[in-house]
Amino acid sequence: MEKTTQDIHFRQNVRWIIGTLALTILALAAFALPTIIVDPFFHYHGPLDGLSYPIDDERYQNDGILRHFSYDSIITGSSMCENFKTSQAQELFGGEFVKVPLMGCRYKEIEDTLRRAYSYGQEIKTVIYCLDYSRFSADKDELSEFEYPTYLYNCNPFDDVYYLLNKEVLLGRTKGVLEYSWEGNQTTSFDDYSAWASSFPLRAEYVLEGCGERIIGDLDVLMTESERENLRQSIRQNVTALAKEHPETDFYIFFPPYSICYWEGMRSDGKIGWHTEGERIVMEEVFECPNIRLFSFSDVFELVEDLDNYRDMVHYGQHVSDWMLRCMASGEHELTKENCEEYLASIQEHYQNFDYSTIRNREGK
């Protein structure tokens, strides 16, 4: 009798445990299911028919875009590329573009982004991105300070719990897609994705507010041997290695035209020669890759010196982004082995000897 009672209690305990586990699993599945179906970060699939998706979070959505969208060409890079329009790129270069910018990124992050695109089996015709001057001194493996949701970047299904059982994702992003769709919105276009131009006015006074006047002296700083080698290794790892592995892809890479206030800072620090030496190193490396075309707009002095083209010291307006795409498509302002020394001498002479006091002596200032 005692044994029978123990058996009954045991079976009851087992049933309770199994029932509790089943209910727990059912509750978790019910919590995760909406995010699996809607998938606001495109981790499992692209946008569903009948739903409209706000695309507005670069480091959470870019990888899903590269996994599941249809494309054969890519625009990427830092905020210097955020205002590029894929519709314009498609007209100029042909192909089907997606834009996956990474605000504040380093060269390593661009390389990682492109390698993931290739790893997803994409045949990529054209890539357009920038090489920011401000990253010349970054280590080849340096990443930005922005946090990455690594669980969205790998193929490990177990850490997807950070996505599927995330209350902020469910109530913020998943629910947000449903509300966004219910309100009659359309999925964000790649022309509009991350584009900030309409939100920030361009005006010299705004640039100068964040750009203190510098003292111009006689300091003359050149790159050290370790700095040269660091930059050379960064370009080899993050730029030319990928181009050599994928000769079928045309890479359009450009130095963005920072404003004259940036050059004032370089001149104040005595680093105009340092800067041009960095550009020369980049050129020496990329000129070895026939499928890389390198462009610079820093010698378009009337652009750089007109602060009404900028929102701050480095960020230029929509009209500049549009113009640069046209130039790259037509081959204007391309750097080659034949013209690079003339270009370097031109910017060296101009920014070394420019009268920087004039940028604060504009009419009405």
Q: What digits encode the pLDDT tens for the residues 104-136?
A: 999 999 999 999 999 999 899 999 999 999 999
Query: In which band, very low, low, confident or very high, does the pLDDT at 1 lie, cut at 50, 70 and 90?
Result: very low
Sole residue written with tokens 């209910």: 23
Give the SS3 label for residue 75.
strand
> So what's the pLDDT on residue 211?
85
| Tens of pLDDT, residues 206-218 | 999 888 888 888 8
The CA-based angle 219-259-284, given to 5 degrees, is 70
Over residues 242-284, the pLDDT tens digits come to 999 999 999 999 999 999 999 999 999 999 999 999 999 999 9
Distance between CA atoms of residues 305 and 115, nearest Å:
37
* Bridge partner list, 129: 253
The domain spans of the chain are: 1-194
* Residue 17, pLDDT above cutoff 80: no
- Which pLDDT does position 108 carry in this prediction? 97
Tell me the whole-structure pTM to 2 decimals.
0.92
Separation of alpha carbons 94 and 355, rounded Å: 43
The pLDDT value given to residue 155:
84
Q: Is 20 exposed, middle or buried (0-12, 13-18, 19+ CB in 10 A)?
A: exposed
Rounded to the nearest 10 degrees, how much is the dihedral formed by the CA atoms of 200, 204, 207, 211? Answer: -170
Q: How far apart, in whole angstroms, are the C-alpha atoms of residue 200 and residue 317?
A: 9
Count, residues in the chain: 365
Predicted confidence (pLDDT) at residue 24 exceeds the cutoff of 60: no
The one-letter amino acid at 189:
S
Please tell me the predicted confidence (pLDDT) of residue 116: 96
Q: Read off the pLDDT of each residue in 193-202 and give the average, rounded to a whole number.
A: 94
* Residue 313 vs residues 60, 148, 336, 341, 357: alpha-carbon distances, Å: 28, 27, 28, 26, 16
Scan for tokens 């905020």, then name that residue.
79
pLDDT digits (tens, 9 = 90+) for 331-360: 999 999 999 999 999 999 999 999 999 998
Average pLDDT estimate for 25-47:
84
What pLDDT, on the 0 to 100 scale, is given for residue 248? 98
Residue 327: half-sphere exposure toward Cβ, Cα within 13 Å:
20
Q: Tell me the C-alpha to C-alpha distance, in Å, between residue 290 and each of 16, 250, 297.
A: 69, 9, 21
Give mean pLDDT, residues 143-162: 90
Predicted confidence band at 16 (pLDDT cuts at 50, 70, 90)?
A: low
Name the residue with higher pLDDT: 69 or 20: 69
Percent of the chain at pLDDT above 90? 82
pLDDT at position 363 is 43
Per-residue pLDDT band for 298 (boundaries 50, 70, 90) equals: very high
Element (H, E) at 334: strand 334-335
Q: Which of 353, 340, 339, 363 is nearest to 301 (CA)?
A: 353
Structure confidence at residue 15 (pLDDT): 66
Q: Element (H or E) spanning 281, and its range?
A: helix 272-286
